[in-house]
Chain A
Amino acid sequence: MLTLQYVPHSEIKNLSSGDKVNKLLNLVKEDKIVLVEGRLRPMEETELIQRTMEGISKSFKGIELCTVYPDVKRERPLDKFTRTVASAITGVKSGLTVIGPATVIKEIKRDPNKIQLLTTNGLNRRRSYKIIKKRKR
Chain B
Amino acid sequence: MIKKVKGFFKGLFSIFKKKKHIKLGLYGPPNAGKTTLANKISMDWLGEEVGKVSKIPHETREIQVKERIEIKGKGGRSISFNLIDTPGIATRIDYEDFLKFKMNKSEAKKRAKEATKGVIEAIKWLDNMDCVVVVLDAILNPYSQVNLTIIGNLAAREIPVLVVGNKIDLKKAKVKNIESAFPQYKVVGLSAEKGINMEEFYEALFEVIG
Chain A residues 79 to 128 lying within 8 A of chain B, measured CB to CB, are 102, 108-112
Q: Which residue numbers of A lie inside 8 Å of B, CB to CB? A: 41-43, 45-46, 49-50, 52-54, 56, 61-67, 73, 102, 108-112
Chain B residues 94 to 138 lying within 8 A of chain A, measured CB to CB, are 94, 112-113, 116-117, 119-120, 123-124, 126
Instruction: Tell whether A56 pairs with B116 under 8 Å between CB atoms, given A65-B91, A102-B94, A110-B145.
Output: yes
Chain B residues 74 to 102 lying within 8 A of chain A, measured CB to CB, are 89-94
B145 touching A50, Cβ below 8 Å: no
17 residue pairs from A and B, CB less than 8 Å apart: A42-B156, A43-B156, A45-B149, A45-B152, A45-B153, A46-B149, A49-B89, A50-B120, A52-B92, A53-B116, A61-B92, A61-B93, A61-B94, A65-B149, A67-B148, A110-B141, A110-B143
By a CB distance below 8 angstroms, the chain B residues around A53 are 93, 116-117, 119-120
B153 touching A102, Cβ below 8 Å: no
A46 touching B91, Cβ below 8 Å: no
CA distance A64 to B149 in the complex (A): 12
Instruction: Name the residue on A nearest B152 (C-beta).
Output: A42
Interface residues on B, range: 20 to 34
Q: Which residue numbers of B lie inside 8 Å of A, CB to CB? A: 89-94, 112-113, 116-117, 119-120, 123-124, 126, 141, 143-145, 148-149, 152-153, 155-156, 183
By a CB distance below 8 angstroms, the chain B residues around A64 are 91-92, 145
B91 touching A49, Cβ below 8 Å: yes
B145 touching A108, Cβ below 8 Å: yes
B123 touching A65, Cβ below 8 Å: no
CA distance A13 to B113 in the complex (A): 33
By a CB distance below 8 angstroms, the chain B residues around A54 are 116, 120
By a CB distance below 8 angstroms, the chain B residues around A56 are 93, 112-113, 116
Instruction: Name the residue on B nearest A97 (C-beta).
Output: B145
CA distance A111 to B142 in the complex (A): 9
B152 touching A49, Cβ below 8 Å: no
Residue B149 contacts which of A42, A61, A112 (CB distance < 8 angstroms)?
Answer: A42
A41 touching B145, Cβ below 8 Å: no
CA distance A108 to B149 in the complex (A): 15
By a CB distance below 8 angstroms, the chain B residues around A43 are 153, 156
CA distance A61 to B141 in the complex (A): 23
B92 touching A62, Cβ below 8 Å: yes
CA distance A56 to B152 in the complex (A): 24
Using A49-B123, A50-B123 as known contacts, list a sample of 20 further A-B pairs with CB atoms less than 8 Å apart, ordered by residue number in A.
Answer: A41-B156, A43-B153, A45-B153, A49-B91, A50-B120, A52-B92, A53-B116, A54-B120, A56-B112, A61-B92, A62-B90, A62-B91, A62-B92, A62-B94, A63-B91, A73-B183, A102-B92, A109-B141, A110-B141, A111-B141
